[in-house]
Amino acid sequence: MPEPSHHQDAPLDFRFEAHDPETYRRQSRWASIDMAALFLVLGLCFSQLLTWAFGSSIWLNALGVLLGLLITSGLIAVLKERPFMAQVRYGWRLKQSLSRVSAHLPVLRRALDEDDPAALEVLSFYYQGISELSRLDGRSLDDDGERLAERLAIKQRRREAGLPERVPGFDERRLKQALDQG
């Protein structure tokens, strides 16, 4: 199997990083609680303010909730790049990358059957990412027999091709190459 055309200096859309699972879970939990509380408070405040100013109406209540949602979303967009959100941002980006890959699993599997190196790289990322997410979330890996067999076959193919067991991350271009092949 040919070596992937992935260059070391090519930027990755997602790169695996070392994160402590306890810290990840704690920060993710607090970020979720904080954002939910902010949304709740803002939604209630805007609803109360609108009904106080214009009278009671279900539409004004709904508008207040919508305003609370918009402001909370805007605040998340502004704060997501802050250092204290690094753990949460990493998890979001990992889940987003895994979602991109999982939408194309049947095509990627067909490309892998045709010995496509891009498919091997992308599926390696997928299973490595699933393991990483399970580790961070403190959950056991939910592998059925078929997924476990596929995971082991991918490891074996990487070994036979002389590739490292782990990939550094996810490259959207490699996904497109594999989809073009499949």
CA distance 123 to 108: 7
Residue with tokens 């592998």: 143
36 to 50, 58, 91: CA distances (angstroms)? 21, 22, 18
Does 13 reside within a domain? no
Does 160 reside within a domain? yes
Does 104 reside within a domain? yes
Are 172 and 93 within one domain?
Answer: yes
Q: Please determine, for residue 6, whether its predicted confidence score (pLDDT) is greater than 50.
A: no
What is the extent of the structural domain holding 27? 21-79
Q: What is the pLDDT of residues 154-179, one digit of tens each?
A: 999 999 999 999 999 999 999 999 99
Are 32 and 114 within one domain?
Answer: no
Are 93 and 173 within one domain?
Answer: yes
Q: Per DSSP, what are the bridge partners of residue 170?
A: 14
**Using DSSP, how many helices (H) and how many strands (E) does the chain show?**
7, 2
- What is the value of pTM for the model shown? 0.81
Q: Please determine, for residue 78, whether its predicted confidence score (pLDDT) is greater than 70.
A: yes
DSSP state, 2? P
Q: What is the pLDDT of residues 11-52, one digit of tens each?
A: 789 999 999 999 999 999 999 999 999 999 999 999 999 999
Q: What is the pLDDT of residues 106-130, one digit of tens each?
A: 999 999 999 999 999 999 999 999 9
Taking alpha carbons only, the member of 158, 172, 165, 177 closest to residue 11 is: 172
Are 173 and 93 within one domain?
Answer: yes
- The amino acid occupying position 53 is A
Does 7 reside within a domain? no
Does 134 reside within a domain? yes
CA distance 118 to 179: 9
Of 79, 99, 126, which marks where a domain is finished? 79
Are 57 and 106 within one domain?
Answer: no
Tally of domains in the chain: 2
DSSP H or E stretch at residue 54: helix 21-54
Does 8 reside within a domain? no
Are 103 and 162 within one domain?
Answer: yes
